[in-house]
Chains A and B, each alone.
Chain A
């Protein structure tokens, strides 16, 4: 079964709006990572948050982690058309592999 589940599955917004994606997971983790995938391409790492961290920022990205609820959120502020992509959360399982969630497909309209 999936370790991570993203919500929503798909999200459509206008440029300039904020986009929020959520990820829930099942087992305890050491870290949680977010990746982005443009259509037909490989994944690109965005940000890593450790289990002892609650919030992390990188440019227009803000990630939160709530280990008590086993959930994380990714916020993209002031979105751009170029942010259109699929976004995946990933957690390591048994310390030797990353397991990816089902992804959120984000569409940003100009």
Chain B
């Protein structure tokens, strides 16, 4: 029973390029969360998605960042025109029954984005 799969594990981009981060939730999970973590800091919530719907994107920067979770395939976090400040570890998590009232999250191993 595979866990949450994120790829790539490491991603290097030059300023101005696009970064695409992928997340396949655990089998049977239809709720996905994206978090960003800077070195020596906690996780910052970015967005919560269900299949084909964005439920809460209050943590997403208004520009350059977007997320989707299509009916088929993985969830994608897309960062356009990356800047050095986007360098961070991006974690995806999934849950079985939705909002985390008495639900735990299962995390992937993260994608480390480095912007040169």
- What residues of chain A have their CB less than 8 Å away from a CB belonging to chain B? 2, 4, 30-31, 33, 35, 40-45, 48, 50, 88, 92, 94-103
B33 at the interface (CB under 8 A from A): yes
* With known contacts A41-B109, A102-B41, A103-B42, A97–B99 Cβ distance under 8 A: yes
Q: How far is the CB of A19 from chain B (nearest CB, A)?
A: 18
The 0/1 profile, CB within 8 Å of A marked 1, for residues 73-92 of chain B is 00000000000000000010
Cβ contacts under 8 Å, B101 to chain A: 30-31, 92, 95
Cα-based distance from A99 to B42 in the complex (angstroms): 9
Chain B: residues with Cβ within 8 Å of the partner, total of 26
Find out whether the CB atom of B106 lies under 8 angstroms from the CB atom of A45.
yes
**Contacts A42-B107, A43-B107 supplied; 13 other A-B pairs, CB < 8 Å:** A4-B42, A35-B107, A41-B109, A42-B4, A42-B93, A42-B110, A43-B105, A48-B104, A50-B102, A97-B45, A97-B56, A98-B45, A100-B42
